[in-house]
Structure 1
């Protein structure tokens, strides 16, 4: 009885690790934000947001970068004072033997039709995530 359970647990861990690796290799570079198609591109090693009108906003982080996604793998949008906010992330593994990452997050809000990028926040963690404060706090309200 113990061997089948152990085998099942090991198999599930491998599947989870594969999913994490796949997500890291295929970051989310296209998303829909309040009905608008957005894209992240590499412009001379810099992460750049392409807005629906094809104007570019250079973000304060290196390429590759990706949108922060929710559990349904859609763009994570936080709303504060009726203003929608999304985030873009860049994570790099720190040199061995460390297993940690150095991550940068830049929140972007849309108010009165204009996009505004907050200053970059830096964290010692791998990947995207966080709570609503990480999206809201970088802005002046």
Structure 2
């Protein structure tokens, strides 16, 4: 069962699209990373490289992809359960970061002096679309550039 939450998304349409991708195996590339701070940079660099080489993205999209994967992978490392997180690059510049937590990310509005807490804000501002899909074993944070 897939439960979908997102910012301005159509629940039925997105759930159907997600199921279609799973059935068709239509992703460009997928990689699994250990749930450690040291894995964030390789995940970010891997996703940007795939987008550049095979995903049809521009250089600006690849750089934005790197930033957003970094933010979502950091959230997975800091807040998710499990020993790994997974990054999938789909056609049309769509990227998933999957982790083992069913807890939905919450946007924060940190003060001027705070270092963290701006990751989801960046994702929602820079992505064309951002959504969170709850699955039986965790969640998928998906963005499209």
* TM superposition score normalised by structure 1: 0.29
Q: Which has the higher contact order (CA 8 A, sep 6+)?
A: 2
In terms of fraction of residues, the more helix-rich structure is: 2
In terms of fraction of residues, the more strand-rich structure is: 1
Q: Which has the larger radius of gyration?
A: 1
* TM superposition score normalised by structure 2: 0.28
